[in-house]
Structure 1
Amino acid sequence: MTMSRVLTGIDGSPQSAAAARWAAGEAVRRGTGLLILHAWPWLGTEFAEGTPAGDLRPAALRALADTAEEIRRAHPGLSVETMVVGEDPADALLAAAEKQDLLVLGSRGLGGFAGLLVGSVGLAVAARVSVPLVLVRADGTDGTDRTDGTDGHQDGSPGGREVVVGVDGHHASGAVLDFAFAEAARRGARLRAVHGWDLMPVWTATGWVPAQVDITAQEAAEQAVLAEALADARAAHPDVEVIAETRLGGSARAVVAASAGADLVVVGRHDRHHPLGMRLGPVAHAVIHHSAAPVAVVPHP
C-alpha cells in the first residue's frame, strides 16, 4: 500500500520553491514523505526531439531537480520523490492530491500590505481539491520566515507559536477543527479559535440599519456558542492550549485580524456543488487573499 505524502507543486517560481520547503517541514512533522510535482500541458511527444523557442519547461525541470536536492540536503531522513505530468497544472494537482494527505502551493505577497495573491491555478485548486490545501507566501513581510516549515520559531515553546482557526459557531465543522487542533499539536502551539459575528440589519423608514441589541448580552451569547462548538475537539485534544475569541465585525475580518504573527490560519470550504461549479465561500476567499500567515483550506460537507 502506497504511503500518503505531503504533495507540492513547483513551476520554477520562487513562490513554488518556498511552498516546497514549507511542505518539507510539514512532512517531517507528520512523519511522512514529500512528493514534488511539475505539470506542463505540452509535455507530449511533439517536443521529444527539441525545445521550441520560448519554452520555459527546461528551466522549470531544472528547478524541480534543484529544489528536490536542496530539500534532501536539509532533511536527510525525508523521503522526497518527484513527478512530471503532461497535463494542465490544476488538473494534475487535483488528481495527484486525491491519494495524498495534504497539498501545499505557493503564492506571492500583495506588495505593500500583508496578504496573498492567489493565481488562477491556486484558486481553481482551492475550490475543488478533496484534501486540505495550504497556500504559502514566499516573502517575509509579516516579520517571520515560514518558508522552511519551521514557522520562524526555533525554541519550540508554545508561548510564541499559534495556529488560528475560523469557527462558524452555528455550523462548526468537525473536519476543520480536527485539522486545526492536530496542526497545533504538531507544532507545540496554542490554538486561537476565532468566531466573528455581526449585527443583523433591519429595515426601517430610513433604509437598512444595524439591529439595536444589547452588545454585551449578544457577545456573551456568541461566546457560549463558540464554547459549545469547540467542546468535542477540545476533549479530543486535551494537551492543546485554546484561546476562544469572539469578534464583532464579521468572520473574514476577525480571522484576518487574528492572522498577524500566526504560524498557520485554518478555514473551511463547503464541499458542495454550485450551478457554476465548485466555489470558495466568501470567508475562505477573503482570508486566503488577506491573511498575514499561510492559510489551510479544509474541505468539509
Structure 2
Amino acid sequence: MSRTVTAGLDSTRESLAAAHWAAREAVRRGLPLRLVHVQEWRPYVGGMVTGYEIPAQLSDRMPEDTVRQVRDAHPDVEIITEEVPGQPAAVLSTAADESELLVLGSRALSGAVGFLVGSVAMATVSHAARPVILVRAGQCAEDEHLPDLYGAPSTTTAHRDVVLGLDLNRPCDELIDFAFDTADRRGARLRVVSGWKLPPMAAYQPEAMTLAQKDIAPLHARALTDALLPWCGKFPGVEVVEHALIGRPAHHLVDAKALALMKDDAILVNTGRGGLVDTDALLAALRAGRLAGAGLDVYEEEAGVFFLDKSLEVMTDERLARLVTFPNVIVTSHQAYFTRDAVGQITEATARNVRDYLAGRTGENTLVPAPAG
C-alpha cells in the first residue's frame, strides 16, 4: 500500500479534530490522507435469529458530514475514504502499520491518562508499530502555534516546541528520528527531556543530593548529548534543547482526574513506584467511596519509613497513618520485588560489580567521570 497519513474516523468531535490534524500533516509530508471508518460487527438482535452477524445500520456508517468538512477545509489534499468491518482496535492497529502515521481522536481530559482513557486508543497505541498521534476534541491549527504579540491565537507565528521524552537506558531510534523529523518539518525547536533518579542511598543521606549535582548530573547530561549526536548531524537545522533532570517521568500519573475515571468497584494496585499515585487524591477517593479498595506495595514518601524497624515508634507520616486505617487498603513495605529471581539478579549484579572493581575493569554499572571542559 502507498504511504499515507491515516485517521480513524467516527461521528465524534475528537474524531473531527483528529481528521483536520491529519490533513494538515498530510500537507506537510506531501502524502494522501486516508480516512478509515471501522464498521464494527455486532450480533443482529431484531427479528429471526439466524446465527449471522450484520453491521449496525446508522451509527456505524461513514460520517459523510465529517468527510465533507475535511474536504472543504483542505481542498489540496488527496483524500481516500475506506470502510473496514471488524473490531476497532484490531483494524486501526493494522491501519497504523500500513501508514506513515495514524491519528486518532481522544477525550478532552488533561494529563497523559486522559489521552489513553479510551479502550480503543489504549489497545491501538500498545499494538501499533508506527507512530500514533492522539488529538483532543476542539484542537485546531492555532493550537500548534505560539500566540501572537497580543496573546491571540495565530497560524502565522512559530510552531510550539516538539517535546521528546527519552529513556537513556532504552533509547528508541525510531522515536528519536520521528521527533527530529517532526520538528524539522515545522521549523520548531526540539526539547529533549530525560529523567534520572538518585542512587538508593540518597534517601538516607541528605548529602548525596550535593554529590549527585556535582558528580553524577554531568554524566547524565553528557550521555544525553551523546545519544542525540547522530540525529543532530542528520537534522542540522533543528534547534535542540536538552534537559537531563533528577526526577521520575511518571510522577502522579494516577491523580484525581484519573481516579475519577475509575469505576466504583475498581481496586487500585501499585507495585511499581510510589510516586505514580497521588496519595492525597487516593485518600479522597477512598473517603468518598469511589474505590472498592487499594493494594500498595510502594508509597511516595516511603524513604525513611520502609526498610526500617519502626514498630516501637509513633507513625509521624499522617497520610500513611490514614491509609492503613482503611479496612479496604493493604500496605506492604516494598516487598513485591522479593522473589527468588529478583534477589538472585541483585546478588549476581552486586558480585559482578565487586569483581570488576577489584580487577580494575570498567563494568556495565561503572560510572565514568565526564572529561573536563
Q: When the two structures are superposed, what TM-score results if normalisation uses the length of structure 1?
A: 0.69
Alignment of 1:248-267 (within 5 A): 248-253=246-251
1:230 partner amino acid: L
Counterpart check, 1:190 vs 2:189: yes
SS at match of 1:28: helix
1:105–1:254 CA distance, 2 compared to 1 (3 A): same
SS at match of 1:252: coil
Q: Give the Cα–Cα distance (whole angstroms) in 2 for the partners of residues 32 and 91 of structure 1.
A: 24
Match of 1:151 in 2: 144
Q: Give the Cα–Cα distance (whole angstroms) in 2 for the partners of residues 62 and 175 of structure 1.
A: 33
Q: CA RMSD in A?
A: 3.3
Could you tell me which runs of 5 or more consecutive residues in structure 2 were left unpaired when the two chains were aligned: 47-54, 147-153, 254-271, 277-373
Match of 2:91 in 1: 92
Is contact 1:40–1:57 with CA below 8 Å preserved after alignment? no
Counterpart check, 1:246 vs 2:239: no
Match of 1:222 in 2: 220
The higher radius of gyration belongs to: 2
SS at match of 2:58: helix
1:222–1:163 CA distance, 2 compared to 1 (3 A): same
Could you tell me which runs of 5 or more consecutive residues in structure 1 were left unpaired when the two chains were aligned: 48-54, 140-145, 256-281, 287-301
Counterpart check, 1:72 vs 2:65: no
Q: Give the Cα–Cα distance (whole angstroms) in 1 for the partners of residues 205 and 5 of structure 2.
A: 45
1:38 partner amino acid: H
Is contact 1:6–1:32 with CA below 8 Å preserved after alignment? yes
Match of 1:51 in 2: none
Q: Give the Cα–Cα distance (whole angstroms) in 1 for the partners of residues 19 and 88 of structure 2.
A: 16
% identical equivalent positions: 35
Greater share of strand: 1
1:20–1:57 CA distance, 2 compared to 1 (3 A): farther
Q: Give the Cα–Cα distance (whole angstroms) in 2 for the partners of residues 5 and 45 of structure 1.
A: 34
Higher relative contact order at CA 8 Å, sep ≥6: structure 1 or structure 2? 1
Give, in angstroms, the shift of residue 209 of structure 1.
Answer: 4.6
SS at match of 1:58: coil
Give, in angstroms, the shift of residue 187 of structure 1.
Answer: 0.8
Counterpart check, 1:38 vs 2:34: no
Is contact 1:247–1:254 with CA below 8 Å preserved after alignment? no
Match of 1:81 in 2: 80
Counterpart check, 1:234 vs 2:227: no
1:150–1:113 CA distance, 2 compared to 1 (3 A): closer
1:233 partner amino acid: W
Q: Give the Cα–Cα distance (whole angstroms) in 2 for the partners of residues 155 and 105 of structure 1.
A: 22
Is contact 1:156–1:187 with CA below 8 Å preserved after alignment? no
Match of 1:276 in 2: none
Q: Give the Cα–Cα distance (whole angstroms) in 1 for the partners of residues 229 and 252 of structure 2.
A: 21
1:162-193 deviations in whole A, cap 9, x for unaligned?
10001112332221111000000111100001
Is contact 2:39–2:61 with CA below 8 Å preserved after alignment? no
Give, in angstroms, the shift of residue 88 of structure 1.
Answer: 0.5
Alignment of 1:108-119 (within 5 A): 108-110=107-109, 115-119=114-118
1:68–1:92 CA distance, 2 compared to 1 (3 A): same
Counterpart check, 1:137 vs 2:130: no
Q: When the two structures are superposed, what TM-score results if normalisation uses the length of structure 2?
A: 0.57
1:229 partner amino acid: A
Name the count of aligned residue pairs.
238
SS at match of 2:108: strand
